[in-house]
Amino acid sequence: MHLIECRNLDSSVAAVVVSLLANANNCDGGMGKRNKNKNRKRKNRSGGPRVDTWNFGGDHVGGARKRKREMERQRAAKDKDVQLYKGATLHRHGASIDRLDPSRISPSEFFAKYVVPRQPVVLTSVAEDKNWKGNEKWTNDYLKSCAGEGIVRVEYRNHPTGRFGMGQEKQMKFGDFVDLIAAGDALHYLTTQDLKLDEEGRPGIMSPPVTELFAAGDFSLRPRLLPHLVLFNANVWFGNSPDGSSSGLHHDFHDNLYILLRGKKRFRLYSPADALNMYTTGKIVKVHENGRINYDGALTRADGADPIADAAAEAALEQERAELDLEAAEASGDQGRIARAEGRVEKAMDVVLSIQMNDDAFGDMVEGSADGQEASSSEGSPLNFCKVDPNLSPSVLADKFPKFLQAKETFCEVNAGEMLYLPAGWFHEVTSCNASPLSTGKNEKGGHLAFNYWFHPPDNVGNGSGSFARPYTSDFWKNDFAMRVKGNKNNSE
């Protein structure tokens, strides 16, 4: 179809143009005649003559629709390149989340049924993990005696109805914070803590009060159900919310094992399949098969590692092994062996030098190890938080966040003494509520208290399969964890 600009034509000329174009487009044999006759019969709903679909600005409704469809096709093609997730999804609103007694499943079965398919699940007991002592020991008095002298970073708000996570923070002794919570204070909240760096700039695994609680033997770095996932860090979450407080809608970069000791938590959930409908603060450039989400300027592998940092780490290890081989060769006095060992060292040094010249990879290893958890947008909000408030009315959401209405949501509740396994990339809003006075012990004093493990997301889960004993395709995080543990011990000595 040829479009003619009719904007400057008078009405009579314009009418002729429309007539000519209509005739030209119907010059297709009998089909044109049938279309013409069909058009004569079409009336508008008021019974008047058919309204022509041309406008004299040079556009046609059919053409506009065609261009719109093309734009939607191009957008869908682009989204397909970004959205690679192959895990569990919500097939309908309100889809149920499994509730499972952990005593009825083995770690390998749990891996196959929930970790590999990236499926959230509520675990109805913590009793099966004999290394977990938190639910039986962590009264206010115990927390103060064990970790009360540690300095913690606490979020605060100016009013009980205000929101946390707005950048307002202060430092205090953990014992003083516990006293505030025991007194009913609802203005302060303990969340994630800064991780101390070792001599090489690598972040530790934990900070106070978690450091002291681990030293007391209250938990293991490898919980029973997830013995082969590599720990990123562990945290305590502690506050008061008489009327319930929201975390805001966001996703995590790591697999989360969330243990509730006091209170009740209500999770609103969306799968990584809806990531492009969630209006995140950052620009999503990739959703990996396992749900790990990347943002513009922070591309990683599916396990969260920087590919160049992995190559740099492997090169450094090979150089270290080659140098040890050379020392042994020199001690043997075997000239042939020495020559081979020198060649190996030279080759290893060339690889290290090549990586350093192409990227400041050794400096980036720290950033890669941190896994993008603290990245923020130019607006000051974390990249992984959503601009949308899911509690807005449907009409407001349709006006301001129309794609969000395409996302499927569901809810689950976690009670004291229960756990939630939530794979990386699952969006969630957590509403925290205080413990009932009847459910609190002598020293608990209410509030809500939780502990969580964050694990690097396993990437050896493709095509619905995976290796229980080897959940990662690379040893990068395994080696990184060993060095972080070593650095953490050195810092504590």
Please report the pLDDT score of residue 218 as a whole number.
96
- Are 276 and 421 in a shared domain? yes
Same domain? 284 vs 311: no
Shared-domain flag, residues 331 and 445: no
The answer to whether 459 and 254 are in contact (CB under 8 A) is no
Contacts of 152 (CB under 8 A, 6+ apart): 171, 172, 173, 174, 177, 190, 193, 207, 208, 209
Res 23: pLDDT: 41
pTM above 0.85, yes or no: no
- 115 DSSP 8-state letter: I
- Residue 119, domain member (yes or no): yes
Considering the domain architecture, whether residues 159 and 270 belong to the same structural domain is answered as yes
Please tell me whether residues 342 and 257 are part of one structural domain: no
Beta bridge partners of 231: 455
Residues 161 and 271 in one domain: yes
Contact 188, 182 (CB under 8 A): no
Give the pLDDT score at 82: 95
Give the CATH number of the domain where residue 221 resides. Answer: 2.60.120.10
Check residue 408 and give its pLDDT: 97
Please tell me the distance from the alpha carbon of residue 185 to that of residue 65, in angstroms, as a whole number.
57
Task: Answer yes or no: is 383 within a domain.
Answer: no
Angle in degrees, 0-180, between the axes of helices 476-492 and 307-332, rounded to the nearest 10: 80
pLDDT on residue 465: 61
Domain that holds residue 420: 98-288+407-492
For the chain, residues with pLDDT lower than 70 are 1-78, 165-166, 358-380, 436-445, 462-466, 487-493
pLDDT for the residue 457: 97
**Total tally of structural domains belonging to the chain:** 2
Distance CA(300)–CA(316), nearest Å, equals 20
In a domain, 226, yes or no: yes
Helix (H, G, I), strand (E, B) or coil at 429: strand
Please indicate, yes or no, whether residues 120 and 242 belong to a single structural domain of this protein: yes
**Is there a domain that residue 22 lies in?**
no
pLDDT, position 464: 60
Eight-class DSSP state of 51: P
Q: Residue 481: its pLDDT value, please?
A: 92
| Domain assignment of residue 394, yes or no | no
Amino acid identity for residue 493 in this structure: E
Same domain for 282 and 312: no
Indicate whether 373 belongs to any domain. Answer: no
Q: Are 176 and 266 contained in the same domain?
A: yes
Same domain, 264 and 315: no
Give me the pLDDT at residue 357, please.
Answer: 73
**Residue 105 corresponds to which tokens in the numbers above?**
């499943």
